């Protein structure tokens, strides 16, 4: 069986159980200095007919999988045992088939509209797509999408309510920062005022709003302003979710040249932790849920509902920053290698010895000493993060 539908390259971490349906291709802005995902790829709309054909393709795969489940004695259930048997017999077919299999196993209840700015599609067309999606795949209960703030600032609340009535449940916005000089420097193509308007439009429409913030984006020059001004903007929006995703600069990002020249100086993990502390302390008068749901974030435990969860989040950061330097290094290595998820993991003695041995091996391989050695170890830890981009 061939693939039946087209999928884009990325989705939010919280949409790991969602069906991926490509509504537009790539990013219409595509100039952000900190992003590499769509560089060199042209933006284009997909027609309603193309998208409906893809939905039909998903439906055909669903029907095929259900039929096989019955014929193989699993009574239509998409269990782990069924998938193991079925995929071993068929070789898994193509990527789309495997994607739908995983989606059904997770319940088949969520869908995510790709790529970077699906809300640029005409409201009437998007409503038609949402209606068709519900008609063909009635198990879907939640539909979400990325959108640019500038697009949403121009979208009327009545249009957004129309989309909500058609089934659009949540919108993800990459705010990154609320500090205008930094937005301009990073070529974000939006202002803080537009971000506020966009967020308020979504909140007023009743669609769930998830705003993404990028700790470290201000570098050493603008760290404080980045934290406080981003909090100021969010305080005026009161989104359902504030999601943290720490900056990592890859070689294929435009920002890398500024790093190489010394124009942009990256923050250390410890400095990012301090920035997040200031950011959370500056969030006031809102009832958002702060989520640290990406492996790039050092402290996954910095999560909670505001305002009641604020002190607990700040305590996690203080606990990390109060650790001796060697303990902080040990935790960073464990986290960047994917072994540690909380500060309590430092007490796992077998895992701790493994991390200590890795650090010793790196130090010996570098043949450095003193401050130079410390800098080299830090660079090695930073390079580990590239595995998670």
Rg (CA), the chain: 23
Q: What is the pLDDT of residue 388?
A: 62
CA distance 293 to 329: 21
Total number of residues shown for the chain: 389
- Half-sphere exposure of residue 245, counting CA atoms within 13 Å on the CB side? 22
Residue 178 near residue 232, CB atoms below 8 Å:
yes
Crossing angle of helices 157-166 and 192-205, in 10° steps, is: 50
pTM of the complete model = 0.92
What architecture is domain 13-324?
Alpha-Beta Horseshoe (3.80)
Q: What is the pLDDT of residue 213?
A: 98
CA distance 45 to 40: 16
**266 in helix, strand or coil?**
coil
Residue 144 near residue 112, CB atoms below 8 Å:
yes
Tokens of 67: 């039929």
Tokens of 135: 């008609």
Element (H, E) at 114: strand 110-114
Q: What is the pLDDT of residue 98?
A: 84
Q: Where in the chain is the domain with CATH 3.80.30.20?
A: 13-324
| Long-range contacts formed by 326-332: CB under 8 A, 24+ apart | 328/269, 328/270, 329/359, 329/377, 329/381, 330/355, 330/356, 330/359, 331/298, 332/269, 332/298, 332/381
* Cβ neighbours of residue 232 closer than 8 Å, sequence gap 6 or more: 178, 282
Per-residue pLDDT tens, the chain, 389 aa: give them.
Answer: 445 789 999 999 899 999 999 999 999 999 999 999 999 899 999 999 999 999 999 999 999 899 989 999 999 899 999 988 887 777 667 778 888 999 999 999 999 999 999 999 999 999 999 999 999 999 999 999 999 999 999 999 999 999 999 999 999 999 999 999 999 999 999 999 999 999 999 999 999 999 999 999 999 999 999 999 999 999 999 999 999 999 999 999 999 999 999 999 999 999 999 999 999 999 999 999 999 988 899 999 999 999 999 999 999 999 999 999 999 999 998 998 889 999 999 999 999 999 898 888 877 776 655 444 556 667 777 777 766 65
CA torsion angle for 4, 6, 7, 8 (degrees, to 10)? 170
Q: How many CB atoms lie within 10 A of CB 74?
A: 17
CA distance 272 to 318: 12
**235 in helix, strand or coil?**
helix
Q: What is the pLDDT of residue 375?
A: 66
């Amino acid at each position: 069986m061939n693939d039946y539908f087209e999928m884009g390259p990325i989705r939010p971490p919280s949409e790991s159980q969602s069906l991926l349906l490509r509504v537009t291709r790539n990013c219409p802005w595509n100039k952000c200095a900190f992003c590499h995902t769509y560089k060199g790829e042209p933006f284009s709309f997909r027609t309603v007919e193309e998208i409906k054909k893809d939905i039909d393709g998903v439906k055909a795969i669903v029907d095929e999988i259900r039929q096989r489940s019955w014929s193989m004695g699993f009574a239509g259930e998409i269990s782990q045992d069924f998938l193991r048997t079925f995929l071993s017999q068929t070789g898994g077919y193509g990527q789309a088939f495997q994607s739908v299999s995983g989606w059904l196993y997770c319940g088949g209840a969520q869908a995510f509209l790709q790529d970077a700015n699906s809300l640029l599609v005409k409201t009437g067309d998007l409503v038609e797509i949402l209606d068709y999606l519900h008609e063909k795949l009635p198990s879907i209960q939640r539909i979400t999408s990325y959108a640019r703030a500038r697009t949403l600032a121009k979208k009327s609340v009545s249009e957004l309510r129309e989309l909500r009535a058609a089934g659009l449940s949540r919108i993800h916005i990459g705010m990154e920062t609320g500090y205008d000089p930094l937005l301009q420097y990073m070529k974000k193509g939006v202002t803080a005022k537009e971000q506020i308007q966009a967020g308020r439009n979504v909140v007023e429409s009743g669609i769930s709003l998830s705003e993404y913030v990028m700790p470290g984006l201000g570098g050493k020059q603008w760290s404080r302003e980045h934290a406080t001004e981003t909090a100021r903007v969010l305080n005026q929006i009161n989104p359902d979710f504030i999601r943290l995703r720490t900056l990592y600069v890859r070689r294929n990002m435009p920002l890398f040249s500024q790093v190489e020249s010394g124009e942009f100086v990256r923050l250390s993990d410890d400095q990012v932790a301090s920035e997040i502390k200031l950011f959370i302390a500056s969030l006031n008068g809102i009832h958002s849920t702060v989520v640290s749901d990406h492996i790039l974030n050092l402290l996954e435990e910095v999560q909670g509902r505001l305002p009641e969860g604020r002190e607990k989040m700040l305590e996690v950061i203080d606990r990390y920053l109060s650790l001796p330097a060697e303990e902080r290094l040990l935790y960073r290595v464990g986290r960047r290698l994917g072994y540690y998820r909380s500060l309590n993991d430092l007490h796992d003695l077998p895992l701790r010895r493994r991390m200590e041995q890795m650090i010793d091996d790196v130090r010996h391989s570098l043949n450095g000493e003193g401050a130079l050695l410390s800098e080299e170890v830090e660079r090695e830890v930073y390079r580990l993060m590239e595995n998670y981009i």
